Amino acid sequence: MNERVEPATLQTGQAILPQASAGIAGAQGAPLPAEHPPVRWGRVGVLLMNLGTPEGTSYWPMRRYLKEFLSDRRVIEVPRLIWWPLLNLIILTKRPGPKGRDYASVWNNERDEGPLKTITRGQCEKLQAAMGDSVVVDWAMRYGKPEVSLRIQALLDQGCERILLVPLYPQYAAATSATACDQAFKALMQMRWQPTVRVSPPYHDDPVYIEAIARSIREGLAKLDFEPEVILTSFHGVPKSYLLKGDPYHCQCVKTGRLIREALGFSPERMRVTFQSRFGNEEWLKPYTDETVQALARSGVKRLAIVAPGFTADCLETLEELDGENRHYFEENGGEHFAYIPCLNDSDLGMRVIEHIVRRELQGWV
């Protein structure tokens, strides 16, 4: 049947029988033939998309995840003739073990999954509760599971003929937002009947986002038993060559950092922008977070805090790298008091931002 599914009538897993279509009118009021294939339509879907996480911390799950991630040409732009042997003969042989141990240090053992998956699921569930029956909310990962293509199909199966794609990256980068959309577009290329699709834009300077980050920092600082001399706003880095090729990521990160600093009333000396997580020998965006942390400690700074406003959910790069590695760098070089202020995650502040973005981009649809 050609069934228009009203928000309050759809139940997950509800069966639609082809023979029930006899005598049911189509979208234009014309009766459909009894043999018409079952079709659901009339709903709006929202798909939250984040980076991804391995399915386990042992060698082979880590290898599969790293292979998918590091094979993405949006992420690694090194010519294939050079990169393929490096990746398959060296990196994927040596890196899964140490990286798996890093993931194990932040792993959600109760659910047997990475924290990024736990938090993104929570964001999806809370957004669904906030939106009610007006939309169907789902979530997917660019690398690993749940797969983008399968979740788009799941939304279609529930009658979603319009879908809003929401890359959970405040700042746009080809290696994050673009590659997430690439996966969605690849799925659409295989569909005879594509849904109508919108993509939410980056929100690096959105006032609701800036205020949420600023408030989370205020609340985080209020909980400390010391006052930081310096606060670093650490963003994930990318190779400098990506900036020179026209990627707007660096400019958007710097603007986010400035707006947060101005909202808090801090000086440029007290609140600084840095970039973390570089990989390989190529020059990346500077200043580097780890080098800045060590230099501050050596210069006599004793009290330091770090926040990661470019991440919508805590993950390996924040929990293990910032709160773990950089804490050690600071203390080993003379620092005494260190604090990592968590991401917005699925907190009330975090959900206020996501819901604001989604409702804004759904205008005209719901």
Query: What residues are designated binding site for Fe(2+)?
Result: 236, 317
Residue 77, amino acid: E
Q: How far apart are CA 283 and CA 281, in angstroms?
A: 7
Q: How far apart are CA 43 and CA 205, in angstroms?
A: 31
Beta strand 43-53 pairing with 160-167: parallel
How many CB atoms within 10 Å of residue 348? 9
Q: How far apart are CA 336 and CA 327, in angstroms?
A: 10
**Residue-wise DSSP of 1-40:** -EEE--TTT--TT----GGGGTT-B-TTSPBPPTTPPPEE
State the DSSP code for 133. G
Binding residues, as ranges, are 236, 317
Q: Do the Cβ atoms of 202 and 168 come closer than 8 Å?
A: no
Chain-centroid distance, C-alpha 241: 23
Q: How far apart are CA 180 and CA 165, in angstroms?
A: 9
Residue 7, amino acid: P
Chain-centroid distance, C-alpha 356: 16
Beta strand 230-236 pairing with 303-307: parallel
Q: How far apart are CA 145 and CA 356, in angstroms?
A: 26
Chain-centroid distance, C-alpha 73: 18
